[in-house]
Amino acid sequence: MITFSNISKKYITPHGSIPALVDINLSVPKGKIYGIIGKSGAGKSTLIRCANLLERPTSGNIIVDDEDLTTLPPTQLRQARRKIGMIFQHFNLLSSCNVYDNIALPLTLSKTTSTAIKKIIMPLLELVGLTDKEHNFPAQLSGGQKQRVAIARALASNPKVLLSDEATSALDPETTETILQLLKNIRDTFNVTILLITHEMSVIKTCCDFVGILHEGKLLEENDVGEFFAYPKTAVAKNFVTASFSTKLPLNITQHLQNVSSADTHPIMRFYFMGDAATQPIISQLINQFRLRINILQGNIEYIKNHAVGTLVIALSGNANDLQNALNYLTSLNIHTEIIGHVPNNVIAFSE
């Protein structure tokens, strides 16, 4: 449904050209939600603006619904864009128009009759849960309600594709959850293909079918979401995955945490379980095979698209050789380990 073929984008400045996208190749299947994640400056916004040629790529082809947008003359490009809805981070609503008129804007501009507009807008108001806000103005709405208006407006032209540019980054977590559920409902109801960009791994986990990592303008890795979380391939992807499971340590631990080990301390470690390792009896193996004493401080396992992933924070006690052998064993199982620090022996108790 959406194909980026050898897409590159360079910005020309007085000091030379700056590459924003470098040879991007990706495909978004029909009826799926594809999330692009990356840090600020990775090229995410440029990528999504290239999808409907708001930014024209320096080279390469953008194909949407079997139509190469990069080869279309202006009149045909305008027609093709009507099949592509866009949702913006800051809503982009007209403050002087009420909810109904904001949603109707694309239809009004295309000279659709008022009777036909009403037949389209009223079901959309119901879909996004704003039937009681029809006559309200943007200043009277919450952030989540404004984004629902923007989503309804994007659907008014009956698009085949939705582009979402950080649509939830300005919203609180609870509202974000409801907007993501709405996007999934829209995908399921209308079989719309959705391409979204985000810097939040929670959005990818909650909403997407596929994910791509954008880093310094390059698509480093892409995969099914479950496979991505369970088996990240690149260092950048692993960092995103592990960061999404990081949790705060208990206060009684952080108060005594030291950077350097000594004879009077023992290590605090965080394990990141991905794929098959998340369901293995790791703790019992560490105790029985390496003669370690263990105190579990925190733990969490999630199932993402039927793949188990999670994190575990433990305190360990044992001799140095056994500890090192245990770390080597965990590495052999593809379990990412991190020594958070060391705490005095009298802070945490271990059963004998």
- The CATH code of the domain that includes 55 is 3.40.50.300
- The pLDDT, as a whole number, for residue 191 is 92
- The pLDDT, as a whole number, for residue 216 is 95
Domain assignment present for 351: no
- The pLDDT, as a whole number, for residue 42 is 92
What value does the mean pLDDT take over residues 92-109?
A: 93
Residue type, 112: T
Domain assignment present for 239: no
Residue 49 to residue 214: CA distance in whole angstroms: 15
Residue 236 to residue 220: CA distance in whole angstroms: 8
Domain assignment present for 236: no
Verify that 163 and 134 share a domain, yes or no.
Answer: yes
Buried b (16+ CB within 10 A) or exposed e, 301-326: eeebeebbbbbbbbbbbbeeebbebb
- The pLDDT, as a whole number, for residue 85 is 93
18-59 tens-digit pLDDT: 999 999 999 999 999 999 999 989 999 999 999 999 999 999
The DSSP element (H or E) to which 210 belongs, if any, is strand 210-215
What value does the mean pLDDT take over residues 318-326?
A: 88
Domain assignment present for 89: yes
Structural domain count of the chain:
2
- The pLDDT, as a whole number, for residue 337 is 84
- The pLDDT, as a whole number, for residue 204 is 93
- The pLDDT, as a whole number, for residue 55 is 93
Bigger pLDDT: 320 vs 117: 117
Domain assignment present for 238: no
Say what the pTM is: 0.82
Verify that 227 and 255 share a domain, yes or no.
Answer: no
Edge-to-edge order in the sheet of strand 16-28: 16-28, 2-13, 59-64, 67-68
User: By residue range, what is the domain housing residue 303?
Assistant: 251-344
Verify that 76 and 223 share a domain, yes or no.
Answer: yes
Residue 241 to residue 87: CA distance in whole angstroms: 26
Asked whether the predicted pLDDT for residue 250 surpasses 80, the reply is no
Domain assignment present for 150: yes
Asked whether the predicted pLDDT for residue 104 surpasses 90, the reply is yes
- The CATH code of the domain that includes 256 is 3.30.70.260
Verify that 190 and 331 share a domain, yes or no.
Answer: no
Specify the residue for token string 């103005």: 137
Q: Is 68 left (phi over 0), alpha (psi -120 to 50) or beta?
A: beta
Percent of the chain with pLDDT over 90: 53
Verify that 140 and 224 share a domain, yes or no.
Answer: yes
What value does the mean pLDDT take over residues 152-166?
A: 93
- The pLDDT, as a whole number, for residue 351 is 62
Asked whether the predicted pLDDT for residue 352 surpasses 70, the reply is no
Verify that 193 and 282 share a domain, yes or no.
Answer: no
**Largest Cα span, the chain:** 81
Bigger pLDDT: 312 vs 2: 2
Domain boundary among 231, 264, 295: 231
- The pLDDT, as a whole number, for residue 229 is 85
- The pLDDT, as a whole number, for residue 30 is 94
Domain assignment present for 246: no
What value does the mean pLDDT take over residues 110-125?
A: 93
Buried b (16+ CB within 10 A) or exposed e, 255-275: ebeeeeeeeebbbbbbbbbbb
Burial of 95 from C-beta contacts in 10 A (0-12 / 13-18 / 19+): exposed
184-239 tens-digit pLDDT: 999 999 999 999 999 989 899 989 999 999 999 999 999 999 889 888 889 899 88
Verify that 293 and 218 share a domain, yes or no.
Answer: no
